[in-house]
Amino acid sequence: MKRTIAHMADGRELIYFDRRDDADRSAIDQRELPPRPVASELRYDPLTEEWVAMAGHRQTRTFLPPADECPLCPSAPGRSTEIPASSYDVVVFENRFPSFSTHLGSYADAGGLSEVRPGVGRCEVVCFTSDHASSFSMLSDDQVELVMEAWADRTAELSEISGVEQVFCFENRGAEIGITLAHPHGQIYAYPYVTPRTRQHLAAAAKRPGLFAGVLAAERAGERVVAANEHWTAFVPAAARYPFEVHLYPHRQVPDLAALSQEERAAFGPVYTRVLRALDGLFGVVMPYVAAWHQAPVRQGRDLAYLHMELFSIRRAPGKLKYLAGSESAMGAFVNDVLPEEAARLLRSQVDH
């Protein structure tokens, strides 16, 4: 793998990940870009003990442009994009409209009981392929492995930024999820705090040693396994919140993507893309989904955490979506319309169908 660092016209960093060592990455961003926005403002909610980022500059971010104006495609004569090169394998760059940043401004007291501080961190975009019409499910095993290398690289490097407490790699796919760009891509958030969901996981694991490994062992022995190989198992969890939800665990407990062995990274794609294709095959339509990597925080709970991916779709039937309405949105109390055992059976029926 060849890793090449470049910079955009406004100073943002861009990193190419190539399979070939002779890839030419000398193209320069010639655009005239506005100044970069300052980092968001974090406000603390004393009732939930959670931080909320106020990032008004994100209101102006690019929204569902036509394919011939996609900012994530390679640049072409007469049309410059976020990627100066005329082609690429995998590329990562700093988000133009970040929720968190090291480019700080001034921050005033919000009043009341809410503490205010800068949203220090970093947000990156990960382009999985230069092919606008592709999707993660269509990537070759080699291409998925290259994406894994990029994720691992960024996890390790972003963890070194002062003030960053957790690194989160994820993909939002589908208009129903609320994507703003259709090109196959994901994002990485380097948070200045440990997220609420991760704090819940670590608290549960602290009470029950070996909790994650126990969950994996129980699921591997049961009826909700969807796909598996020597290093990974994909299963529908017993208490799935979403109609079609799959968790993917490596068989070895590691804290984050950077800690995976080369064999484990290579083995992920063959299982994951089978699951994605099974989702698309369920109703004969492209399934919207969120794919979220749960990683250990940078400085705490690393012995308790267990790297895994949570993949879920809000589609519950042809033409029907699961909306997070009153109970889910206001109370955080989920009601699932599809039994996990039935969801697993349906997904298995589509694996390599």
pLDDT digits (tens, 9 = 90+) for 44-68: 999 999 999 999 999 988 999 999 9
Tell me the C-alpha distance between 214 and 261, whole Å.
22
Task: Supply the pLDDT for residue 93.
Answer: 98
How far lies 326's CA from each of 223, 330, 335, in Å? 32, 5, 11
The pTM assigned to this predicted structure is: 0.97
Tokens (6 digits) for 43: 């406000």
Q: Which residues contact 95 (CB under 8 A, 6 or more apart)?
A: 123, 124, 125, 187
Tell me the C-alpha distance between 59 and 66, whole Å.
19
Give mean pLDDT, residues 244-273: 98
Query: How would CATH label the architecture of 2-196?
Result: 2-Layer Sandwich (3.30)
pLDDT digits (tens, 9 = 90+) for 305-322: 999 999 999 999 999 999
CA end-to-end span of the chain: 33
Tell me the C-alpha distance between 17 and 344, whole Å.
35
What phi-psi label fits residue 253: left (phi over 0), alpha (psi between -120 and 50 degrees) or beta?
Answer: beta
Say yes or no: do domains 2-196 and 199-350 share a fold. yes
Contact between 41 and 54 under an 8 Å Cβ cutoff? The reply is: yes
Tell me the C-alpha distance between 282 and 109, whole Å.
50
In the structure, what pLDDT confidence band is assigned to residue 110 with cuts at 50, 70 and 90?
confident
Q: Indicate the burial class of 280 (C-beta count within 10 angstroms; 0-12, 13-18, 19 or more).
A: middle
Tell me the C-alpha distance between 27 and 322, whole Å.
45
Domain ranges of the chain: 2-196, 199-350
> Which one, of 28, 276, 305, 35, lies nearest residue 155 by Cα?
305
Assigned CATH class of 199-350? alpha beta
Q: Which residues contact 284 (CB under 8 A, 6 or more apart)?
A: 318
- Active-site residue, 201 included: no
- CA torsion 234-238-241-242 (nearest 10°) is 50
Residue 39 amino acid letter: A
Task: Supply the pLDDT for residue 168.
Answer: 98
- Asked whether residue 275 carries a pLDDT value surpassing 90, the answer given is yes
Task: Supply the pLDDT for residue 137.
Answer: 98
Give the angle 295-160-55 at the CA atoms, nearest 5°. 75
**Catalytic residue among 183, 185, 231, 308, which?**
185
Contact between 296 and 244 under an 8 Å Cβ cutoff? The reply is: no
- Asked whether residue 353 carries a pLDDT value surpassing 80, the answer given is no
- Asked whether residue 138 carries a pLDDT value surpassing 70, the answer given is yes
Contact between 271 and 352 under an 8 Å Cβ cutoff? The reply is: no
Give mean pLDDT, residues 190-201: 98
Contact between 82 and 72 under an 8 Å Cβ cutoff? The reply is: yes
Q: Which residues contact 275 (CB under 8 A, 6 or more apart)?
A: 226, 227, 234, 246, 248, 311, 347, 351
pLDDT digits (tens, 9 = 90+) for 117-134: 999 999 999 999 999 999
Task: Supply the pLDDT for residue 352.
Answer: 74
